[in-house]
Amino acid sequence: MTAQVIQATPVAGALGADIAGVDLSKDLDNESFDAIHQALLDHCVIFFKDQDITPEQQLDFAKRFGGIHHHPYMQGMPNHPDIFEILKTETDPHNFGGVWHVDQMFTPKPNMATILYAKEVPEAGGDTLFANMYNAYDALSDTMKDMLSGLKVLCVGDRPGKRSRKERYKELNGVKMNEEDIGVRASEHPLIRSHPETGRKSLFIGSHVDNIAGMTKGESEPILGFLRQ
């Protein structure tokens, strides 16, 4: 197929770009995909407007970036277990993923990206927000960067003694959970991570972070509280 002319237009100062000149329902040649991949590296979040794709086409596009990361908690679509739906009604007051987080950071090898396909969106509200953790790291003083270097954080999917994810998600009518009880899932990751392709350093922090490994809660929480601001 002839290479598509890919255009990336920044949408904000910190991150994000609209991608024009691409139809995700069609096969992408390597040159076009490389341009999209580079736009993701440059802008962290990219948007494709006015797309009409099937679940198979969404998966095919995702596989160009690497293997598919199966969600340990969510139940996927009947014929596409690696895609799960979030269905909301106008009267549903509950929020899914309404805290700052990194998707599946509690797994041993978190996914490198998440692909969202919005089929029907409200006229106002319901925003999905993104934060540039490169910028968050760059804003730290050199002394703070040195102090955080080498630290690891314990990331948990469920916290013992608190309502489980399954219990909380039962309130969300448009989200389906896996029936099996996988228990508390937790992994340690560096607090400061270097991107494997760009080499840029970023903070790896979010709502799944329970504490800094090797520290007590009392020692850890003031540091995490500062970084979460």
Q: Which domain holds residue 38?
A: 1-52
Looking at residue 198, its pLDDT comes to 95
Do residue 70 and residue 45 come from a single domain? no
**Residue with more model confidence, 5 or 137:** 137
Task: Work out the mean pLDDT of the chain and round it to a whole number.
Answer: 88
Do residue 105 and residue 5 come from a single domain? no
Distance CA 81, CA 70 (A): 8
Do residue 182 and residue 69 come from a single domain? yes
Residue 185's pLDDT band, with cuts at 50, 70 and 90, is: confident
CATH of the domain at 184: 3.60.130.10
Do residue 137 and residue 36 come from a single domain? no
Q: Of the segments 63-72, 116-125, 127-136, which one has the largest average pLDDT value?
A: 127-136
Do residue 155 and residue 57 come from a single domain? yes
pLDDT tens-place string over residues 19-67: 999 999 999 999 999 999 999 999 999 999 999 999 999 999 999 999 9
Do residue 125 and residue 217 come from a single domain? yes
Q: How many CA atoms lie within 13 A of 6 on its CB side?
A: 23
Looking at residue 15, its pLDDT comes to 97
Looking at residue 161, its pLDDT comes to 52
What residues contact 126, with CB distance under 8 A and at least 6 apart?
A: 88
Q: Is the pLDDT of residue 181 over 70?
A: no
**Residue with more model confidence, 93 or 164:** 93
Q: Is the pLDDT of residue 109 over 70?
A: yes
Looking at residue 42, its pLDDT comes to 97
In the numeric block, the tokens 């909301």 are attached to 88
Do residue 68 and residue 181 come from a single domain? yes
Distance CA 76, CA 85 (A): 7
Do residue 172 and residue 107 come from a single domain? yes
Q: How many domains does the chain have?
A: 2
Supply the DSSP string of the chain, one letter for each residue.
-PPP--EEEE-SSSS-EEEES--TTSPPPHHHHHHHHHHHHHHS-EEE-S----HHHHHHHHHTTS-----SSB--BTTBTT-------TT----SS-S---TTTTSSS--S------SS--SS--------HHHHHHTS-HHHHHHHTT-EEEEESS-TTS--HHHHHTT-TT--B-SS-----EEEEESEEE-TTT--EEE--STTEEEETTS-HHHHHHHHHHHH-
Distance CA 57, CA 82 (A): 13
Looking at residue 16, its pLDDT comes to 98
pLDDT tens-place string over residues 64-105: 999 998 877 777 888 998 898 887 777 777 777 778 899 889
Residue 1's pLDDT band, with cuts at 50, 70 and 90, is: very low
**Residue with more model confidence, 71 or 118:** 118
Sheet holding 46-48, edge to edge: 7-10, 17-20, 46-48
**Residue with more model confidence, 143 or 89:** 143
